[in-house]
Chain A
Amino acid sequence: MTSTEKAVGNVANFVDERLGAAGWVKKSLNKVFPDHWSFMLGEVCMYSFVILLLSGTFLTFWFDPSQRDVIYNGVYEPLKGLKMSAAYASTLDISFEVRGGLLMRQIHHWAANIFMAAIVAHLLRVFFTGAFRKPREFNWILGILLLTLGLVEGLFGYSLPDDLLSGTGLRITSAIIQAIPVVGTYISFFLFGGAFPGVGFIPRIFTLHILLIPGIFLAVITIHVMLVWYQKHTQFPGVGRTETNVVGHPILPVYMAKAGGFFFVVFGITAFLAAVASINPIWLYGPYTPGQISAGSQPDWYMGWLDGLVRMAPPLETHAFGHTISWNILIPAVIVPGIVFTGMALYPFIESWITGDKREHHLLDRPRNVPNRTALGVMSVTFVMISLINGGNDILATNFDLSINQIMWFSRVGIFVLPPLAFVITKRLCLSLQRADRELLLHGAETGRLLRLPHGEFVEVHAPISPEKAFLLQSHEQMAPLEIEDIDARGVRRPGAIKNKIQRRLSKAHAVSVPKVTEQELKEIEHH
């Protein structure tokens, strides 16, 4: 026994005699994680969260979250002698006077963008592959919660420097709060500590941004990851993979080395971006004053789609009995996002109601094999993309010499027309891909080699596909619509006829698919 082994043994013994952990740790180290590039997306979220914690802590050492007026007397000449909030002045100091401070600010901001982008990508992966199905509905809801928290945390974060751009964002935030009927004005005055911009908002969102929300994040991420651990990761279908097993590399050493290494890669890339690509150059915007604004005011991209919805809203207000209700704010900024996020959170239950499928699922779907879900996903993405485009309509108009009014009208019409169109097209595409799979199974892959038959006909030679591939193409289930009878076996009409009708129609639409290849068909082909 080497001395290292002896030392490790002593430590392990010390711990195990007190915690009895050997059994559990042994099992854990042999735990299997399936491999697929798309499983990295969740990891990127987690790693960028750690980067955010580290870089954010660094920034708090110098940042002064106060709206107290100061006269700037730092090294950045253009703003010298100007009155500004201590928050803005200290952000300038971090950018210009703390060594590596600007880098940390940019790492923090880039990491926030990567965090949100990875959350969205991870969400899309989980959605399109059906990983949210039983037993993983809890984790799906936690994921939606993390996405929502991320939006709020991001908004608070880029509002903290109290520059002209972020102040404009807060002005809009306060207008949304004010638009809430009955209590809006009061909530706004309490949050801001008076009439906008008040004296309290920056210090308050600072506390929320660095303490409360990260605390909730940490708790929810921990549960999220523990559930992945406990329920074991899903896997893509393939030879040797079933609903009752999980195939992959063990935690020790391969997965740990890859995942641990990947953390450094993500951090390294973030640092590289921060080193070479400027982000949120607040010194160019100037301190916030409500009387001024810069053209092309844009929120960060993950809020941009909401801003785009607000921009395209029709000018609707209700004036009655001495009160005002701003539908032009409430619909795009409160009601539609409320529906979107609630719908997302409930989707696993909606789909399971439509399909009547209450079984556990650990094998992922190939998106083409569930055309309805895939189409719904693309439809939602289209909705968000059009909103996002409209959120940048001023930038598009100036850069591409377009009319802002035309972009707005395109969005106003497009938001109703294009998502359904995307649904139909995607569904057709999925079915075509299924047909292609069927062709591949029945006739093999095209080789590109032409053969001239004795009687002069040209045919292309098809090569049989590998057994692994054939297995993959046939591994999904043939979907079938639910059979719900309005009248039960004894001839009595069941209650809830309308509900049954909706469920039957949705189920029928959901089960549209190309029939799988049968043994019969395969045999017939072989005889030819």
Chain B
Amino acid sequence: MSNELVPTDNSVAPQHAPRATDINPASEKRAEQQIAILFGLSGVGSVLLIYSYIFLAKDVFIFIPIMGNQNAQQLGIGIGMAMSLFFIGIAAIHWAKTLMPDKEIVNQRHEFRSSDEDREELIKTVKEGVAGVQLGRRKLIKRSLGAAIGLFALPPVLLLRDLGPLPKKQLETTNWKAGTRLLTDPGNRPILASDLEVGAVVQVLPAVEHEDERPLSDIAKDPVLLIRLRPQDFQLTPEKFAMTHEGIIAFSKICSHMGCAVALYEQQTKHLLCPCHQSTFDVTRGAKVIFGPAARPLPQLDITVDAEGYLVARAPFNEAVGPSFWERNSQ
């Protein structure tokens, strides 16, 4: 590459063109005034903020095109704050660009690598220091130190143990037991099979002792969707069909993918769609996954009616509801 054109000489020095403010006193004066006006606008913003904070009522709304109804106080405080900050900044930059010296200067760089002497001396110092510790000779100290540090690492981990309870069987169980009534959510009313017309969708929760004080961790696994179709619409295995009641089928509402509520039901196609990741389940085929990332159908709840005709669970879920986890037996 000997004949490569390398413009080594930087002799084509950049021309330093003077600014209008450098040569014309009038534009210098103008720039000064502009900067003062900008600082002034900042002051106006601060006053607007103070005025809005103190004198505007909290519940006054004003209509602004495009933005719609806006809370006047929040808007006043916000615009005031924006102005008071923005114009200080613009003024400072304008000042720097028009009036402060604009001559570029040059600094030199230096290679970061230390000199060879420094490096050698450092190595020597470190070697001497390490030798002074005598770890090589004092085997007993070395081993006991290792053991102590090893043991010392355990307590910090152990101290975090009380962050939460052990999982036990909590992920595998729900409040659905044989004979548990299905209660509407919201409302906590039991449901007669005849209450549901074909095409109806109802969200239900299990009857428990204190229905008004369900912990959220129960609501994270108990919700069930009831859907009534015509019995001939189903394409189910005999045992899954036996879990339905007069065309009413019950699925866990908690997505088998990541646990979102599978809340979108399409009447026409009889598909359930999870709004989080679009896993789509076909109700007629036992909530089989027909699209999206979910790998398992929604667990089906075995339902029937009790002596009074109210819908109840015939048995608990026969698998864990919600997202997968390591201990889940999915076979």
Contact A276 B216 (CB under 8 A): no
Contact string, A411-438, partner B, CB cutoff 8 A, digits 1/0? Answer: 0000000000000000000000000000
B6: chain A residues within 8 A (beta carbon):
474
Kindly report which residue of chain B lies nearest to residue A85, judged by CB atoms: B216
Q: Least Cβ distance of B53 to chain A in Å? A: 6
Contact B81 A271 (CB under 8 A): yes
The residue that B216 contacts in the complex, of A174, A242, A290, A325, with Cβ under 8 A, is A290
- The tally of residues in B whose CB lies under 8 Å from a CB in A reads 98
Q: How far is the CA of A268 from the CA of B46 in the complex (A)?
A: 12
Q: How far is the CA of A320 from the CA of B111 in the complex (A)?
A: 58
Kindly report which residue of chain B lies nearest to residue A95, judged by CB atoms: B74
Contact string, A233-251, partner B, CB cutoff 8 A, digits 1/0? Answer: 0000011111111111110
B114: chain A residues within 8 A (beta carbon):
none
Question: Is the C-beta of A329 less than 8 angstroms from some C-beta in chain B?
Answer: yes
The residue that B77 contacts in the complex, of A99, A261, A522, with Cβ under 8 A, is A99
Q: How far is the CA of A136 from the CA of B292 in the complex (A)?
A: 43
Q: Least Cβ distance of B196 to chain A in Å? A: 19
Q: How far is the CA of A32 from the CA of B105 in the complex (A)?
A: 7
Most interface-central of B111, B263, B264, B292 (chain A CB within 10 A): B292
The residue that A289 contacts in the complex, of B109, B216, B326, with Cβ under 8 A, is B216
Contact B5 A519 (CB under 8 A): yes
Which residues in chain B, 267-297, are within 8 Å of chain A measured between CB atoms?
275-279, 289, 291-296
Contact A261 B92 (CB under 8 A): yes
Which residues in chain A, 60-102, are within 8 Å of chain B measured between CB atoms?
75, 96-97, 99-100, 102
Contact B92 A360 (CB under 8 A): no
Kindly report which residue of chain B lies nearest to residue A262, judged by CB atoms: B89
Contact string, A17-34, partner B, CB cutoff 8 A, digits 1/0? Answer: 000000000000011100
Contact A475 B324 (CB under 8 A): no
* Chain B facing A: main interface SS: loop
Contact B163 A268 (CB under 8 A): no
Question: Is the C-beta of A495 less than 8 angstroms from some C-beta in chain B?
Answer: no
Q: How far is the CA of A241 from the CA of B108 in the complex (A)?
A: 10
Most interface-central of B161, B203, B219, B326 (chain A CB within 10 A): B326
Question: Is the C-beta of B106 less than 8 angstroms from some C-beta in chain A?
Answer: yes
Q: How far is the CA of A58 from the CA of B326 in the complex (A)?
A: 42
Contact B78 A310 (CB under 8 A): no
Contact string, B74-85, partner A, CB cutoff 8 A, digits 1/0? Answer: 110111011111
B58: chain A residues within 8 A (beta carbon):
96-97, 99
Which residues in chain A, 490-528, are within 8 Å of chain B measured between CB atoms?
516-520, 522
Contact string, A254-280, partner B, CB cutoff 8 A, digits 1/0? Answer: 100110111111111101101110000
User: Given known contacts A260-B92, A264-B89, A271-B81, is B105 in contact with A250 (CB within 8 Å)?
Assistant: yes
Contact B107 A246 (CB under 8 A): yes
B25: chain A residues within 8 A (beta carbon):
none
User: Given known contacts A242-B10, A478-B4, is B325 in contact with A179 (CB within 8 Å)?
Assistant: yes
User: Given known contacts A239-B14, A246-B109, A315-B294, is B96 in contact with A257 (CB within 8 Å)?
Assistant: yes
B109: chain A residues within 8 A (beta carbon):
232, 243-246, 362
Q: How far is the CA of A28 from the CA of B53 in the complex (A)?
A: 42
Which residues in chain B, 188-236, are within 8 Å of chain A measured between CB atoms?
203, 205, 216-217, 219-223
Contact string, A288-318, partner B, CB cutoff 8 A, digits 1/0? Answer: 1111111111000000000100111111110
Q: Least Cβ distance of B234 to chain A in Å? A: 22
Q: Least Cβ distance of B253 to chain A in Å? A: 7
Question: Is the C-beta of A48 less than 8 angstroms from some C-beta in chain B?
Answer: no
Contact B86 A264 (CB under 8 A): yes
B85: chain A residues within 8 A (beta carbon):
264-265, 267-268, 271
Q: How far is the CA of A513 from the CA of B13 in the complex (A)?
A: 29
Q: Least Cβ distance of A80 to chain B in Å? A: 15
Contact A31 B107 (CB under 8 A): yes
Q: How far is the CA of A174 from the CA of B255 in the complex (A)?
A: 13
Q: Least Cβ distance of B201 to chain A in Å? A: 14
Which residues in chain B, 82-138, are within 8 Å of chain A measured between CB atoms?
82-93, 95-97, 100-102, 104-109, 111-112
Question: Is the C-beta of A322 less than 8 angstroms from some C-beta in chain B?
Answer: yes
Contact A325 B326 (CB under 8 A): yes
Question: Is the C-beta of A215 less than 8 angstroms from some C-beta in chain B?
Answer: no
Which stretch from B146-154, B165-173, B242-250, B306-314 is at the chain A interface? B165-173
Question: Is the C-beta of B329 less than 8 angstroms from some C-beta in chain A?
Answer: yes
The residue that B106 contacts in the complex, of A32, A393, A471, A516, with Cβ under 8 A, is A32
Question: Is the C-beta of A487 less than 8 angstroms from some C-beta in chain B?
Answer: no
Kindly report which residue of chain A lies nearest to residue B56, judged by CB atoms: A99
Contact A181 B259 (CB under 8 A): no
Contact A231 B259 (CB under 8 A): no
The residue that B101 contacts in the complex, of A246, A254, A516, with Cβ under 8 A, is A254
Kindly report which residue of chain B lies nearest to residue A51, judged by CB atoms: B85
The residue that A168 contacts in the complex, of B1, B53, B216, B276, with Cβ under 8 A, is B276
Kindly report which residue of chain B lies nearest to residue A266, judged by CB atoms: B89
Q: How far is the CA of A180 from the CA of B216 in the complex (A)?
A: 23
Contact A328 B329 (CB under 8 A): no
B93: chain A residues within 8 A (beta carbon):
257-258, 261-262, 265
A474: chain B residues within 8 A (beta carbon):
5-7
Contact B327 A323 (CB under 8 A): yes
Contact B7 A471 (CB under 8 A): yes
Q: Least Cβ distance of A388 to chain B in Å? A: 15
Contact string, A398-419, partner B, CB cutoff 8 A, digits 1/0? Answer: 0000001100100000000000
Contact B294 A290 (CB under 8 A): no
Contact A317 B164 (CB under 8 A): no
Kindly report which residue of chain B lies nearest to residue A441, judged by CB atoms: B5
Kindly report which residue of chain B lies nearest to residue A240, judged by CB atoms: B10
Question: Is the C-beta of B331 less than 8 angstroms from some C-beta in chain A?
Answer: yes
A522: chain B residues within 8 A (beta carbon):
5
Q: Least Cβ distance of A132 to chain B in Å? A: 15
Contact B217 A197 (CB under 8 A): yes
Which residues in chain A, 196-214, are within 8 Å of chain B measured between CB atoms?
196-198, 200
Q: Least Cβ distance of B205 to chain A in Å? A: 8
Kindly report which residue of chain A lies nearest to residue B296, judged by CB atoms: A317
Q: How far is the CA of A102 from the CA of B75 in the complex (A)?
A: 10
Kindly report which residue of chain A lies nearest to residue B273, judged by CB atoms: A404
User: Besides A99-B73, A168-B260, 7 other CB < 8 A contacts?
Assistant: A178-B325, A196-B259, A249-B102, A258-B93, A290-B223, A408-B291, A474-B5
Binding site for A on B (CB under 8 A): 1, 3-7, 10, 12-14, 53, 58-59, 67, 71, 73-75, 77-79, 81-93, 95-97, 100-102, 104-109, 111-112, 160-161, 163-167, 170-171, 185, 203, 205, 216-217, 219-223, 253-254, 257-261, 263-264, 275-279, 289, 291-296, 322-331
Cβ-closest 6 pairs across A and B = A275-B78, A268-B86, A261-B92, A264-B89, A265-B89, A268-B85
Binding site for B on A (CB under 8 A): 30-32, 35, 75, 96-97, 99-100, 102-103, 106, 135, 168, 171-172, 174-176, 178-186, 188-198, 200, 231-232, 238-250, 253-254, 257-258, 260-269, 271-272, 274-276, 288-297, 307, 310-317, 319-320, 322-326, 328-329, 332, 360, 362, 393-394, 404-405, 408, 467-468, 470-471, 474-475, 478, 516-520, 522
17 intermolecular pairs with C-beta atoms under 8 Å apart: A31-B107, A103-B77, A168-B276, A172-B259, A184-B325, A196-B259, A261-B95, A268-B85, A268-B88, A272-B78, A293-B261, A310-B258, A313-B293, A315-B289, A324-B327, A326-B324, A474-B5
